[in-house]
C-alpha cells in the first residue's frame, strides 16, 4: 500500500482519508520514512497528535499496529521476548529420562518463545506499523534495546540466532521531551518535531473532529487557544484539550465566545489552578464572583 | 547540490548543532526523494535528517533561509520600468499598500512591496561592511513599524465586538502580522546579501547562538522565555543522571540476610555475596544570590535549576540579597509558578537596607549574624554574583566564617573573566575563601556546574 505513495501529497491524502490532517512537513517526513525505511522519531508537547500519527498510518496503509508502551523499568522480557519458563518446566517433567541433548534443542525452540511487541513486529509475515510510545520514559540504558531493531530491523536471541524482518515495519517512536534521548537513538531516526498547530491547522482539525461546530466558533476557539499557549502556562492546552473545549461549548449551547463563557469553561482547557489564575489575569477575564454580581 | 549540502552542514556545525557523518549521508539520500523546487519540502527533509533537537530549529531555520532562501523571481522586473513605477508611488502610498497586503494576507503582493521598500530605504551598497540586521532595521524604521502596528490594530477593531478577550486576540493577530512583515524584510535583505557575498559568509554573520549558549546576563526577553521552557527538561535530565550515579556507585555493606537467602539456591553454599545499596548522603545546598539589577536574571536560572533537582538534594535553602539579605526558601515551594514566586519575592522579602545597590559585605554579615547555623559540614554553599561591591567594605571575614563551616563554597560569576577586578569588582578578595570560582555565562555552563555541585557526599561505609 505504501508503494502507492509517489509523493508527499499522496501521503497527505492517505492520512487525510483517516481524519488525520498532516501538514506539509509531516507528510514529507512520513514519505521519506517509507522511502528510506527509516524510523520516525516524533517529539513535541503532549497531546499534539504524535500517537495519532501512528494510528492514522496503520489505518491508511491497512497494516496492523503493534504497540509498545514504554514505562520506567521496561526491560528486555517485556519489550523483546521471553522464554516460557512454565511451559519449559512442564516439558521437562512430561518425559523424564529423555536424552538431554534432545531436550535442550527442544525447550529452546520457537514454540517456547513468548514474543513481545518488538519481536512480534519483526516476525510478522505481513508488514506492520510499530509504535514505540513515549520512549523518553525508559531509562537511558534500555534505549539500547531498540538500536538493533531501528538500525537493521533484526533481533538477536542468543539461543536462536538473529531474526531478521522479512517485511520492513514502519516505525514511529514518540517522545514528550521530558528528557533528552541518546544521540545513538536520534541518529538512527528521522526527526519530526511536532509543535502546537498553527491557527489555520487547528481550525481544520476542529472542523474535522467536531463537525457540528459553527465555522466562526472554530476560528475563535483556535485563536483563543493559540493565545493562551503564548502565555506560558505550566501545562499549555493541547489539541485534544481544545477539541474537548469545543465539544463542551457545543454541549452547553454556547454560541458565542464571550469573556464570561470563556471564564466559566476555562477548566476544560487548563488543568492546574495556578494556570487558570494566570490566564484569567493575562486575558483579564472576569472571575465567577464578578460574573454573579455583574 | 552536494556541495551546497556539505557547506550547509558545515555552517550548522559552526553554529554548534552536532551533525554526524551518518546524518549527512542520510540527508543526501533523502534529497533524492525530495522535490527540490519546493522550499518547505526541502526544509522538512533537511530538518528531519540533520537536526534532532527542537531547540536547535531556530538556528537551523536562520541558516536554511540564507542557504536556500532562493532568488526572488520578481526582482527580474526591468530596471527602468521599476524606476518609473517607483517614482509615482509616494512613501505614504507604499506604506498603505504594505498595510493592505498584510491585512489581505496577500503574500506575493507583500513580497513585491517589501522588495521595493528595501530598494528605497535600506541604502544597500556593495562591499559595505555591515550586517543584514542593520539594513533590516533601517527598512523597518522607514516603514514606521510602530505606526503600522497601531493602524493594523485599528483596522482589526472595526470588525470585532468589544470584550477583553477579543482585544487580546486582536493584539496577538497584529503582532503576528508585524512579525511576518519583519520576516519578509529580513528574508529580502538576506537574499540580496547572499547574491553579493555568498551564502557561507552571510550565514556566519547572521548566526544565532543556540539557546544553551545564550549569554544569560544579556539575554533578550524572548530568549529568557525560551530558556525558561528548556530549564525544566534540562533539570529532569540532570536529576536522572545524578540519581543514576548515586545508585550505581560502588556497593555498600554486605547484606547477610540476602547472602544466606541466595545461598539456599546452591544448597547452602555461600557462593555469591550480596550487598546493600550504598549509603550516600545527598548534599545540602545553600544558595546565596545577588538579585540586584542585571544579576537577577542569572540568579533566577540558578535558583530554578537548583529547585528543579531538589529531589536529588536533601535540603535546599536559598537567600537573596542586594544590600541586605533575607531567606527566600519559602517563596519557591513546589506548586507555585516560578516567575510569580520571583515577583512575590522581590515585593515582600526585605533585601534593601539603604540605597538598593549591591553590598556584599553587609549581606554576608547578615548571613553570619542570623543564619550561620544553617551551614553545616554537609552544606555546599553556592554564591552567585558579579562581586561588584560599589566600593564598600568587602567583609571577607564573614565569607571566611561561612566557608569555614561549609563542606564546599562555590562562587559563580556571570561576568567574563577579563572584567573581574576591574572597577568596583572585588572578585579576587573573595576568591581565596572559595573552593571554586567559576565564570558561568550560559545555560550549558550552568548545567555542568550544578551537576558538579550536586554530587553526593559518599561516606566510607565500604566493608568486606
> What ipTM does this complex have?
0.85
pLDDT given for residue B4 in this prediction = 87
State mean pLDDT over B440-454.
80
Check pLDDT > 90 for residue B126.
Answer: no
Q: Is B49 on the interface with A (CB under 8 A)?
A: yes
Check pLDDT > 90 for residue B44.
Answer: yes
- Residues B441/B229, Cβ–Cβ less than 8 Å: no
pLDDT given for residue B78 in this prediction = 43
Contacts of B22 in chain A (CB under 8 A): 187
pLDDT given for residue A234 in this prediction = 77
Of all residues in chain A, the percent with pLDDT exceeding 70 is 97
pLDDT band at B258 (very low <50, low <70, confident <90, very high): confident
Residue A284: DSSP 8-state = T
Check pLDDT > 60 for residue B50.
Answer: yes
pLDDT band at B52 (very low <50, low <70, confident <90, very high): very high
CA distances from B397 to B404, B432, B450 (A): 10, 11, 26
Nearest chain A alpha carbon to B171: A227
d(CA B279, CA B250): 10
Nearest chain B alpha carbon to A231: B225
Out of A28, A43, A234, the one facing B44 most closely (by C-beta) is: A28
- Residues B245/B266, Cβ–Cβ less than 8 Å: no
Of all residues in chain A, the percent with pLDDT exceeding 90 is 32
What is the average pLDDT value for chain B, to the nearest integer? 80
- Residues A192/B48, Cβ–Cβ less than 8 Å: yes
Question: What pLDDT, in 10s, does the model give residues B419-445?
Answer: 888 888 889 889 898 888 888 888 888
pLDDT band at B349 (very low <50, low <70, confident <90, very high): confident
d(CA B426, CA B433): 13
Q: Do B225 and A177 touch (CB under 8 A)?
A: no
Predicted structure pTM score: 0.76
pLDDT band at B93 (very low <50, low <70, confident <90, very high): confident
State mean pLDDT over A25-48.
92
d(CA B189, CA B66): 10
pLDDT given for residue B60 in this prediction = 92
Positive or negative CA dihedral for B413, B415, B419, B421? negative
Tell the burial category of B189 from Cβ atoms under 10 Å away from its Cβ (0-12, 13-18, 19+): buried
Check pLDDT > 70 for residue A35.
Answer: yes
pLDDT given for residue B458 in this prediction = 47
Q: What is the 3-state secondary structure (H, E, C) of B18-50?
A: CCCHHHHHHHHHHHCCCCCCCHHHHHHHHHHHH
Question: What pLDDT, in 10s, does the model give residues B12-21?
Answer: 999 889 999 9
Q: Is A235 on the interface with B (CB under 8 A)?
A: no
Check pLDDT > 60 for residue A238.
Answer: yes
Show which of residues 306-345 on chain B sit within 8 Å of chain A, judged by CB atoms: 335-337, 339-340
Out of B29, B40, B229, the one facing A36 most closely (by C-beta) is: B29
Q: Do B163 and A259 touch (CB under 8 A)?
A: yes
Exposure letters A127-155 (e unless 16+ CB within 10 A, then b): bbbbbbbbbbbbeeebbebbebbbeebeb
Check pLDDT > 60 for residue B341.
Answer: yes
d(CA A53, CA B207): 34
Q: Do B165 and A285 touch (CB under 8 A)?
A: yes
User: How many beta-carbon pairs under 8 angstroms link A with B?
Assistant: 109
pLDDT band at B463 (very low <50, low <70, confident <90, very high): very low
Show which of residues 168-187 on chain A sit within 8 Å of chain B, judged by CB atoms: 177-180, 183, 186-187
pLDDT given for residue B160 in this prediction = 53
Q: Do B228 and A189 touch (CB under 8 A)?
A: no
pLDDT given for residue B149 in this prediction = 86
Q: Which residue has the cell 509543535?
A: A195
pLDDT given for residue B251 in this prediction = 64
Contacts of B244 in chain A (CB under 8 A): 139-140
Contacts of B33 in chain A (CB under 8 A): 31-32, 35-36
Show which of residues 27-86 on chain A sit within 8 Å of chain B, judged by CB atoms: 28-29, 31-32, 35-36, 38, 41, 43-44
pLDDT given for residue B75 in this prediction = 44
Check pLDDT > 60 for residue B320.
Answer: yes
pLDDT given for residue A67 in this prediction = 93
Q: Do B41 and A28 touch (CB under 8 A)?
A: yes
pLDDT band at B461 (very low <50, low <70, confident <90, very high): very low
Amino acid at each position: 500500500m505504501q508503494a502507492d505513495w509517489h509523493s508527499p501529497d499522496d501521503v497527505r491524502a492517505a492520512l487525510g482519508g483517516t481524519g488525520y490532517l498532516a501538514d506539509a512537513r509531516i507528510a514529507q517526513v512520513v514519505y521519506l520514512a517509507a522511502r528510506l525505511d527509516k524510523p520516525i522519531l516524533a517529539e513535541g508537547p503532549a497531546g499534539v497528535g504524535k500517537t495519532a500519527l501512528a494510528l492514522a498510518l496503520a489505518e491508511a496503509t491497512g497494516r496492523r499496529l503493534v504497540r509498545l508502551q514504554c514505562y520506567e523499568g521496561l526491560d528486555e522480557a517485556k519489550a523483546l521476548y521471553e522464554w516460557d519458563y512454565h511451559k519449559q518446566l512442564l516439558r521437562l517433567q512430561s518425559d523424564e529420562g529423555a536424552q538431554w541433548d534432545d531436550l535442550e534443542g527442544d525447550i529452546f525452540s520457537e514454540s517456547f518463545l513468548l514474543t513481545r511487541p518488538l519481536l512480534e513486529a519483526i516476525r510478522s509475515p505481513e508488514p506492520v506499523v510499530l509504535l514505540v510510545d513515549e520512549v523518553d520514559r525508559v531509562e537511558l540504558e534500555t534505549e539500547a534495546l531498540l538500536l538493533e531493531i531501528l538500525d537493521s530491523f533484526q533481533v538477536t536471541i542468543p539461543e536462536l540466532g538473529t531474526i531478521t524482518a522479512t517485511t520492513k515495519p514502519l516505525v514511529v517512536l514518540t517522545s514528550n521531551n521530558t528528557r533528552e534521548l541518546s544521540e545513538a537513538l536520534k541518529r538512527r531516526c528521522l526527526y519530526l518535531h511536532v509543535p502546537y498547530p498553527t491557527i489555520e491547522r487547528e481550525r481544520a482539525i476542529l472542523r474535522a473532529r467536531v463537525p457540528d461546530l459553527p465555522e466562526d466558533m472554530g476560528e475563535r476557539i483556535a485563536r483563543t487557544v493559540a493565545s493562551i499557549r503564548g502565555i506560558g502556562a505550566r501545562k499549555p492546552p493541547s489539541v485534544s484539550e481544545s477539541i474537548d473545549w469545543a465539544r463542551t461549548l457545543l454541549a452547553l449551547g454556547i454560541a458565542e465566545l464571550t469573556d464570561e463563557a470563556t471564564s466559566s469553561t476555562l477548566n476544560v482547557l487548563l488543568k492546574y489552578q495556578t494556570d487558570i489564575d494566570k490566564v484569567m489575569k493575562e486575558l483579564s477575564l472576569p472571575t465567577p464572583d464578578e460574573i454573579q454580581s455583574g | 547540490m552536494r556541495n551546497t549540502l556539505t557547506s550547509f552542514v558545515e555552517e550548522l556545525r559552526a553554529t554548534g548543532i552536532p551533525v554526524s557523518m551518518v546524518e549527512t549521508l542520510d540527508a543526501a539520500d533523502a534529497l533524492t526523494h525530495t522535490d527540490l523546487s519546493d522550499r518547505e519540502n526541502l526544509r522538512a527533509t533537511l530538518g528531519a535528517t540533520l537536526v534532532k533537537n527542537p531547540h536547535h530549529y531556530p538556528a537551523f531555520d536562520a541558516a536554511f533561509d540564507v542557504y536556500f532562501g532562493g532568488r526572488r523571481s520578481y526582482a527580474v522586473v526591468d530596471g527602468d520600468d521599476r524606476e518609473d513605477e517607483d517614482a509615482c508611488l509616494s512613501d505614504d502610498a507604499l506604506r498603505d499598500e504594505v498595510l493592505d497586503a498584510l491585512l489581505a494576507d496577500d503574500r506575493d503582493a507583500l513580497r513585491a512591496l517589501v522588495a521595493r521598500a528595501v530598494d528605497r530605504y535600506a541604502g544597500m551598497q556593495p562591499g559595505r561592511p555591515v550586517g543584514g540586521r542593520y539594513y533590516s532595521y533601517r527598512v523597518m524604521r522607514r516603514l514606521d513599524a510602530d505606526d503600522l502596528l497601531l493602524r493594523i490594530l485599528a483596522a482589526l477593531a472595526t470588525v470585532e465586538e468589544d470584550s477583553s478577550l477579543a482585544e487580546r486576540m486582536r493584539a496577538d493577530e497584529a503582532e503576528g502580522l508585524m512579525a511576518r512583515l519583519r520576516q519578509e524584510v529580513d528574508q529580502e535583505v538576506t537574499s540580496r546579501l547572499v547574491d553579493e557575498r555568498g551564502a557561507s559568509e552571510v550565514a556566519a554573520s547572521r548566526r544565532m547562538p543556540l539557546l544553551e549558549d545564550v549569554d544569560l546576563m544579556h539575554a533578550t526577553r524572548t530568549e529568557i522565555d525560551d530558556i525558561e521552557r528548556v530549564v525544566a527538561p534540562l533539570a529532569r535530565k540532570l536529576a536522572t543522571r545524578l540519581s543514576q550515579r548515586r545508585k550505581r556507585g560502588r556497593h555498600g555493606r554486605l547484606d547477610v540476610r540476602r547472602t544466606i537467602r541466595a545461598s539456599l539456591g546452591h544448597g547452602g553454599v555461600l557462593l555469591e555475596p550480596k550487598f546493600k545499596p550504598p549509603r550516600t548522603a545527598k548534599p545540602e545546598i545553600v544558595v546565596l544570590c545577588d538579585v540586584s539589577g542585571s544579576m537577577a536574571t542569572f540568579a533566577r536560572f540558578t535558583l530554578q535549576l537548583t529547585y528543579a533537582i531538589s529531589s536529588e538534594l536533601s535540603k535546599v535553602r536559598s537567600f537573596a540579597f542586594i544590600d541586605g539579605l533575607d531567606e527566600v526558601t519559602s517563596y519557591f515551594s513546589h506548586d507555585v509558578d516560578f516567575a510569580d514566586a520571583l515577583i512575590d519575592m522581590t515585593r515582600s522579602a526585605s533585601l534593601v537596607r539603604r540605597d538598593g545597590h549591591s553590598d556584599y559585605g553587609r549581606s554576608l554579615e547578615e548571613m553570619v549574624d542570623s543564619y550561620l547555623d544553617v551551614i553545616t559540614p554537609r552544606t555546599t554553599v553556592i554564591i552567585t554574583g558579579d562581586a561588584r561591591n560599589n566600593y564598600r567594605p568587602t567583609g571577607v571575614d564573614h565569607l571566611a566564617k561561612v566557608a569555614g563551616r561549609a563542606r564546599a563554597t562555590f562562587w559563580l560569576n556571570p561576568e567574563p573573566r577579563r572584567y573581574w577586578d576591574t572597577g568596583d569588582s572585588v572578585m579576587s578578595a573573595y576568591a581565596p575563601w572559595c573552593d571554586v570560582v567559576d565564570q558561568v555565562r550560559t545555560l550549558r555552563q550552568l548545567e555542568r556546574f550544578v551537576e558538579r555541585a550536586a554530587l553526593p557526599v559518599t561516606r566510607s561505609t565500604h566493608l568486606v
